[in-house]
Amino acid sequence: MLKKFYPGEYLDSAYEIPFEKLYDEGWRAVIFDIDNTLVPHGASADGRACALFLHLRELGYRCTLLSNNKEPRVKMFADAVDAAYIHKAGKPKAAGYRQAMERMGTDRKNTLFVGDQIFTDVYGANRLGIRTILVKPVHPKEEIQIVLKRYLEKIVLYFYRRRQGKQKGNSNENYNRK
C-alpha cells in the first residue's frame, strides 16, 4: 500500500543529483517543485538555483517548475531561473504533470520529477510513472499543514528505507543513497 508513495530515489539535496549521469542515461527533462526543494519556502531564487538551471540548460535538459502556489510567487522564481512554470498545479493531481511534459515535448520515460514532499510531489509523479527524486527539505520552517504531513512522511520513509535495505542486501546496485 505504501509503495505508491515511495520515491525512486531519496537524496539530501536537489543540488547533489547527478544530472550529467542521468542525461547520459537518456533523461531529457526535469519537473521541479520550488519551495523547500530548491529554496526555503517563499524565498527568491538564489545564486545556487540560478546556476543549477543554467547548468541543466547547458546539458540539454528542458525544465518546468510545477507548484501549487499562486502565479506571482511561481513566476518570480521562474523568471529568475529562466524556466517554464505551471502555478496552482493541484498536485498530486495528474493534470499539471501531464501539462509540464506536454510543454517540454517529453514523456514519462525521459522526464524526472524532483520535490520535497511525499504526498503531493512524489505521489503525483508516481501515479503517472514519472521517475521521482525526493529531496530533504531545504529549511525546517514550514506552514502548519506541511508540518503535520511531515509526521506521516516519517512513517512512509521508515518503511521505504527498510525496503531499500532489503533490496541492497539482494543487489549490487545502489540507486538510493538514503
Q: Which of 119, 104, 114, 123 is nearest to 152 (CA)?
A: 119
The model's pLDDT over 24-79, given as tens digits with 9 standing for 90+, comes to 999 999 999 999 999 999 999 999 999 999 999 999 999 999 999 999 999 999 99
In the chain the domains, ranked by start, together with CATH numbers, are 2-170 (3.40.50.1000)
Q: Which of 84, 87, 85, 37 is nearest to 57 (CA)?
A: 84
Q: What is the pLDDT of residue 174?
A: 42
The model's pLDDT over 83-92, given as tens digits with 9 standing for 90+, comes to 999 999 999 9
With vertex at residue 164, the alpha carbon angle to CA 174 and CA 64, rounded to the nearest 5 degrees, is: 70
